[in-house]
Structure 1
């Protein structure tokens, strides 16, 4: 029995690079994704596979990082899956209820699997990651400014 090779259009790219892209699309602003798609992929045919839809996911935590797990609560998530006219399937998931953002992320995930769009999608990912890193650094600096070092305080009985 011989197996026929899968068509490149229907192969799914799994691995750290796709995970990195999907993470960036989830953290991107919806406007960033809309602008990119309008500029680079306006004529690509897209059909829905699933959603977009919004639901709830249970978040679990551990006390002290090593304790027994407990249910912290539920958060809303949105997801979508799309198929391009060329056969690539993309998925988008993000926190919150923005179904349009989830659909845009799914389209970009699918486009990132196409050779002719891969480089420009990677450029968008790098831009998003740089912006997010800058925002995280600014937040860390703002938070560090409020840090109290209790070892430098003078004790009253000395």
Structure 2
């Protein structure tokens, strides 16, 4: 069995974690054959420490905690895992199921085209819209030099 590159799996897990639950449900319901799966770890909610850096590159510091839900499933012999922000047990469960399915070479290509790429495009479009809305409220400040400060 071929090993999935770590970066590839990290990418699809990130997309699944950021995707809206409604879109994951729609993707799940659109599968021609929904596989059976077993919960290895029930969805459980807890807290995770969030680290940040001053100016994005300084020394790290603990900014605070965030709510996180995790889940692990067995799908056709593949262990799927998910960590999602918030308290949605269903989101964590579906993300874990899709992670397990995507590890199966029989489903990787199809699910990447039909689930991951469309979700990735919608997430990117949402980010662009939010960035444009934020940019529209940007205020440019400038200071005029006073005459007496001139040599």
TM-score range, shorter chain: 0.7 to 0.9
| RMSD, matched Cα | 2.0
State how many pairs are aligned.
146
- Specify the alignment match of 1:16 in structure 2: 7
Structure 2: 5+ residue stretches without partners: none
Check if 1:110 corresponds to 2:100.
yes
Q: TM-score w.r.t. structure 2 length? A: 0.86
1:12 and 1:37, CA in 2 relative to 1: closer, same or farther beyond 3 A? Answer: farther
The residue that corresponds to 1:44 in the other structure is 35
Partners in 1 of 2:39 and 2:116 — Cα distance? 23
Structure 1 residue 148 corresponds to structure 2 residue 139? yes
Equivalent position of 1:61 in the other structure: 52
> 2:108 aligned with 1:89, yes or no?
no
Alpha carbons of structure 1 residues 90 and 43: separation in structure 2 relative to 1, 3 Å: same
Q: 2:123 aligns with which of 117, 120, 132?
A: 132
TM-score by length of 1: 0.82
